[in-house]
């Protein structure tokens, strides 16, 4: 069974896409017909921030300018640079 990413807004499932371990979350959202706002597409501005509910979206070390340790602790991920590994669920509502 292929890995999928599930896109939620709160408890409402908005859509899913198949994870290919190459595409960013923003690209996978587009595949599912979901628009995630972006600006810099490099992890700098934080416009595309979402909350990771379940699964793994690895973080760069050091963290990109759009994230800090507090936000990461709250589950924040940047969808313009985040590439999911395996089954993932995200909430489009950022942890701010």
56-88 confidence digits (pLDDT tens): 999 999 999 999 999 999 999 999 999 999 999
Domain boundaries, the chain: 4-91
Does the pTM surpass 0.85? The reply is yes
pLDDT of residue 42: 94
C-alpha atoms less than 13 angstroms from C-alpha of 2 in its C-beta half-sphere? 10
Structure token digits, residue 36 = 């995630």
CATH fold, domain 4-91, is: Ubiquitin-like (UB roll) (3.10.20)
The per-residue pLDDT for 1 is 85
pLDDT at 68: 95
Check the CA dihedral 61-19-53-30 and report its sign. Answer: positive
Q: How far apart are CA 66 and CA 19, in angstroms?
A: 24
Give pLDDT, residue 96: 75
| Residue 91 pLDDT greater than 90, yes or no | yes
Beta bridge partners of 16: 6
């Amino acid at each position: 069974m292929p890995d999928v990413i599930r896109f939620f807004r709160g408890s409402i499932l908005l859509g899913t896409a198949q994870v290919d371990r190459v595409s960013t979350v923003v690209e996978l959202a587009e595949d599912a017909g979901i628009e995630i706002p972006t600006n810099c597409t490099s992890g700098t501005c934080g416009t595309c921030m979402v909350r990771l509910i379940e699964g793994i979206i690895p973080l760069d070390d050091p963290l990109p300018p759009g994230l800090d340790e507090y936000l990461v602790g709250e589950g924040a991920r940047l969808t313009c640079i985040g590439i999911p590994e395996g089954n993932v669920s995200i909430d489009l509502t950022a942890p701010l």
